[in-house]
Chain A
């Protein structure tokens, strides 16, 4: 899933302080799972904004809440077509994808981000989400024991750990696993340490961010 983290309320207040009518728009997918931008968090943010306006003596300010199943699909975004025009601003607490797609669909209404979108990752346990994938567009996990050096090594090294790997941890942070320690442990566990001995070719980064904004176009599924 896409993992996001909360933004400081003060920052969001800064975006909407001059608005009279604000819609806090949450998303029922990834950001709900990582407890950053679901219905519950939208409710808390809306309350904080109402409190701000009340404290400022702005009695006619109105903050509403709405949850969409997804903000990355047109059909769900259409659900607010009839009401969107009433608002001076929308604060989307979906990921950056949702914020942008909402802004694209509602061209004349300011849309502000309500969370910081962080990475594609997993829930290790409630309250701890960690990165797994950077979407480089050319998956190499078959050769690295199912552990990605692009996403999980601080230097995205392809041919083994740097000299800073110590007791299984990365040199930049003692709480961070060394990706290459994990890869080697896993290759040993699946009896494929021979994979390590092969020199990894220089990567074609044109399918990564480096190649510019990307798209996947599939004629076979287009209607």
Chain B
């Protein structure tokens, strides 16, 4: 795949290296130090950092403002944008705003339903869906025009991504849905957290058979368990999550004081196994409120040092 944007993570994966990303959730307040502290923990061990957009529908500092903080620290942000809160005017406006700070990555999402958050009585927008947003950003970049047709002066140069859940229902369309995202213009995918490795490998095999891994970088999502309780919660309470019984048992069978270490072991083993899977182009490490462990995971998984690419 040829490089189409100034994005560092695109260049790294295009050069054949495994890409590594992690994420930084903005604070529920306006203190920039919280952002800087989290970001500092990720410096040097990942290629780019996702900045979530009011995740779980809880109000936080905006994704765009947080991305700018990271950019000013010399880090590469991935602007997450959900279609829940903005119509096509606001989405395109924020894309331009990000582009004005030379933010070169975007992840297009529909966003958690507002009923999960702290403002369940709010309206949702969904003027576009996540695929249509990806299509819109590609149009802005490649054709230099807005959705309305007018020309953009200095169009955005963004590497366009989306999420995929290899485990969600309906099973029949998991791969066709990926194909459709790629047709919409998605260039990289970050997947839902992988615990059912066999099922994930089957999904990648099917994607490979359709030639999709030649058109899009698939970044495997991993999240370390901090405790057996977290494993059970993810299994039973988080929609679309597939945590096999033997993984939960492995965590439960571990003494309390050693569970977090075991969670990290599982995460590292997952990355090591998936590194060998043809069609996996990188890893997205979502250490939820556990950013200090990302460098350890990356190092133990043999993904350091990160490639230097200009």
Contact = CB atoms under 8 A, between A and B. Distances in A.
B239 A160 contact: no
A155 B240 contact: no
Nearest to A171: B239
B127 A157 contact: no
Contacts of A155: 83-84, 110-111, 113, 124, 126, 129
Interface stretch (B130-138, B224-232, B301-309): B130-138
Contacts, number: 102
A181 interface: yes
A163 B110 CA distance: 9
A202 interface: yes
Contact of B169 (A156, A161, A197, A200): A161
Nearest to A193: B172
A154 B83 CA distance: 13
Interface in A107-129: none
Interface in B151-165: 163-165
B205 to A, nearest CB: 20
B1 interface: no
Contacts of B111: 155
A73 interface: no
A154 B177 CA distance: 19
A162 B126 CA distance: 12
A163 B132 contact: no
A28 interface: no
A145 B184 CA distance: 22
A205 interface: yes
A165 B113 contact: no
A181 B174 CA distance: 12
Contact of B173 (A157, A172, A184): A184
A172 B129 contact: no
Given A155-B84, A159-B129, A199-B131, A165 B180 contact: no
Interface of A: 154-168, 171-172, 178, 180-181, 184-185, 188, 193, 196-197, 199-200, 202-203, 205
A164 B240 contact: yes
B54 to A, nearest CB: 14
Interface string B175-209: 01101100110000000100000000000000000
A200 B239 CA distance: 25
B55 to A, nearest CB: 13
B124 A202 contact: no
Interface string B206-243: 00000000000000000000000000000000011000
B128 interface: yes
Given A155-B113, A160-B180, A200-B132, A166 B126 contact: no
B170 A185 contact: yes
Interface string B92-136: 000000000000000000111101100000001011111110011
Contacts of B124: 155
Contacts of B113: 154-155, 164, 171-172
B168 A163 contact: yes
A202 B183 CA distance: 14
B210 to A, nearest CB: 11
B132 A172 contact: no
B88 interface: yes
B170 A181 contact: yes
B3 interface: no
Contact of A159 (B132, B168, B239): B132
A163 B126 contact: no
A167 B239 CA distance: 10
Given A155-B84, A171-B240, A193-B172, 5 more contacts: A155-B110, A157-B126, A164-B112, A165-B240, A171-B113
15 contacts: A155-B84, A155-B113, A159-B129, A159-B180, A161-B177, A162-B110, A163-B163, A163-B192, A165-B239, A166-B240, A184-B173, A197-B180, A199-B180, A202-B135, A202-B147
Nearest to B83: A155
Contacts of B84: 155
Contacts of B116: 172
A197 B178 CA distance: 10
B196 to A, nearest CB: 14
B115 A172 contact: yes
Given A155-B84, A155-B110, A166-B240, A202 B170 contact: no
A157 B110 contact: yes
Contact of B129 (A158, A166, A181): A158
CB-CB nearest 10 A-B residue pairs: A163-B165, A171-B239, A164-B239, A163-B240, A159-B131, A157-B129, A184-B170, A172-B113, A160-B177, A165-B169
